[in-house]
Amino acid sequence: MNKFSSYLVVAAMEEELASFYSGRNYTKLEENGIVFYHLVDKGHDIYAFVGGIGKVSMSYRLGLFLSKHQVDLIINTGVAGSISSDIVPLSTLVATKTAFHDVDLTAFGHPFGEMSAMPLYFECDEDCVKEALKFDKENIHSGLILSGDSFVTKENFPQGIYENFDDPKGMDMESAAVGEVSHISKIPYMIIRTISDSADHSDNSSTYNCLLSQAAKRSIDLTWDIIRSNQ
């Protein structure tokens, strides 16, 4: 791709990020209460930190970090729940775009999911998506990821999402927040989420706990593939 020279890799939880810097030479730093890691890989500056679970935690820490550091690409890595029968656990979903499934300003004429003064969809970097799909055409998929402040199960599955949104494929709690911050900051971004569970199954919390570590590692491996493809 040869588009980027600096990266920010962010995950919601330490379990999703640990293998990114494990065994590598890095500097551990702290600013504004944010602990982050700095690596230099073949001349590229790479920062990484845990943004926290949910939209507010992720947005807050991203905003603080980006107020001090300039990066060329934001990569949100981790796990997500599938809401597509074609995307099974331990396959990887690379977002083409993200949106909020729990925003409702329809009373003011906005489409469901659209926040005031924001687009409905936050578009991911198209070249990065294409690059990611080259690494494993069978097990890496692309599509819309929806985000909201709930761990979605069969019991609390949001109504109307297939009617309100453009063919959603996965659900998590942070991707759209990363998309909104990237949109405001005018920084390209991509989302890499390996599937840990099916969000429309009632037993998905147990599947999530069982597959979390393995799914997170696969997401990190693809994250490094993307970074290395730009060297």
| pLDDT per residue rounded down to tens, the chain (231 residues) | 678 999 999 999 999 999 999 899 999 999 999 999 999 999 999 999 999 999 999 999 999 999 999 999 999 999 999 999 999 999 999 999 999 999 999 999 999 999 999 999 999 999 999 999 999 999 999 999 999 999 998 889 999 999 999 999 999 999 999 999 999 999 999 999 999 988 777 677 888 888 999 999 999 999 999 999 987
One-letter amino acid of 211:
L
| Res 154: pLDDT | 85
Q: What is the pLDDT of residue 149?
A: 97
pLDDT at 1: 64
From the number of C-beta atoms within 10 Å of its C-beta (0-12, 13-18, 19+), residue 172 rates as: buried
Is residue 60 classed exposed, middle or buried when 0-12, 13-18 and 19+ CB atoms within 10 A define those classes?
Answer: middle
| Number of residues in the chain | 231
The overall pTM is greater than 0.85: yes
- Report the pLDDT value the prediction gives residue 89, as an integer from 0 to 100: 93
Backbone angles phi and psi of 195, in degrees to 5: -75, 120
